[in-house]
Structure 1
């Protein structure tokens, strides 16, 4: 029976790299995206080329109806074994004193509420895979910002990822008795589009070069940690947050 995994925000960055890494293991992947259908289609083609199966699933994770439709689409493809809760947003770098309520609400609606809704739907479904003797795992995407705070840049984003750390701990204790593992990965400075999106494309090299390893990380390096946590090889790992930060 194929391993079925849903990756939210799977059309670009860490989500895309994760979907492709899942495909390389022969898994079937639901690639969630919100607007960029071309990027999602390209990711699905890359997953298939790597050796897996893939389906595009459009949906805004901050909207409950979209999330329900997303999971219902995955239900059609057989029992769900894994969910990677990756979809998230950031905004232009600035101190908290300059942030509007609209900006903060958008960040929290996507990064916190969206993650919780997706985690709820995963919690409903994944125990069935465990009962059938299959691997069953949720991996959430946190951030080094949760422990660094991101002062003068994005304390709202940092706070949203702190909520993910708490969700990981609490949900792992709820679902552990049902055989479902819940873990998180905490990326550091990773080479994705997010730095340009917050108006500071030079941030990648400026901060990445200050890490103990002397460079930013790649989306593929984060994906390897995610896929390991999804896999049966991490069968005794739950309630854990893995830093992929180059030592920062």
Structure 2
């Protein structure tokens, strides 16, 4: 059964792909930029909510460190990992599951906006799968984590990184 999905950062890339996929599967989708405290307040069974799921978007960089490229980005995504694990433990008894996806090299415009438009082409051959991922591939994982099919997952960090 589809429900309501709030997608933060849903105007482009992985967020946009997730919003479109969720809408095609019958979710009522809201696109926003504000994500976990308000969601917990509204979803908490302790506060009269029906429970729910939060899926954060981290990055494989959180574990790889991104030396020489995006150390600041990697550090911020490591914080997302910690938030995911801690919040999952904190709100599980309130009927809320919290997980994260950790995309690797994904063909979005984040690389061009970061000053390296050829990054995907330069790195994809070095990936075990030999190609970059698509925003839609990440969106499918997000929708799975948001569904009842993953009902025993909380505090999980799912790498979607082509083996990287």
- TM-score higher than 0.5: yes
Flag the structure with larger Rg.
Answer: 1
Q: CA deviation at 1:175?
A: 0.7
1:120 corresponds to 2:40: no
Kindly report which structure 2 residues correspond to 1:1-248, keeping only aligned pairs within 5 A, or say none. Answer: 3-32=3-32, 61=33, 67=34, 118-128=35-45, 136-248=52-164
* Structure 2 unaligned spans of 5+: none
Q: Distance in 2 between matches of 1:131 and 1:234?
A: 23
Label 1:168 to 1:175 Cα distance change in 2 as closer, same or farther (>3 A). same
Partner of 1:93: none
- RMSD, aligned α-carbons: 1.8
1:172-219: CA deviation from partner (whole Å, max 9, x where unpaired):
001111111000000000010001011111110111221100000000
* Structure 1 unaligned spans of 5+: 33-60, 62-66, 68-117
Q: Is the 8 A contact 1:130 1:180 kept in 2?
A: no
User: Using CA pairs below 8 Å that are at least 6 residues apart, which structure has the higher relative contact order?
Assistant: 2
Label 1:122 to 1:29 Cα distance change in 2 as closer, same or farther (>3 A). same
Q: Distance in 1 between matches of 2:23 and 2:9?
A: 16
Q: Distance in 2 between matches of 1:125 and 1:8?
A: 16
SS of equivalent residue, structure 2 residue 129: coil
Q: Distance in 2 between matches of 1:3 and 1:189?
A: 30
Q: Distance in 1 between matches of 2:125 and 2:132?
A: 7
Q: Distance in 1 between matches of 2:56 and 2:7?
A: 10
Label 1:129 to 1:14 Cα distance change in 2 as closer, same or farther (>3 A). farther
Q: Is the 8 A contact 1:140 1:185 kept in 2?
A: yes
Label 1:5 to 1:129 Cα distance change in 2 as closer, same or farther (>3 A). farther
1:60-87: CA deviation from partner (whole Å, max 9, x where unpaired):
x4xxxxx4xxxxxxxxxxxxxxxxxxxx
SS of equivalent residue, structure 2 residue 158: strand
Label 1:225 to 1:131 Cα distance change in 2 as closer, same or farther (>3 A). farther
| Number of equivalent positions | 164
Label 1:235 to 1:27 Cα distance change in 2 as closer, same or farther (>3 A). same
Q: CA deviation at 1:128?
A: 4.1
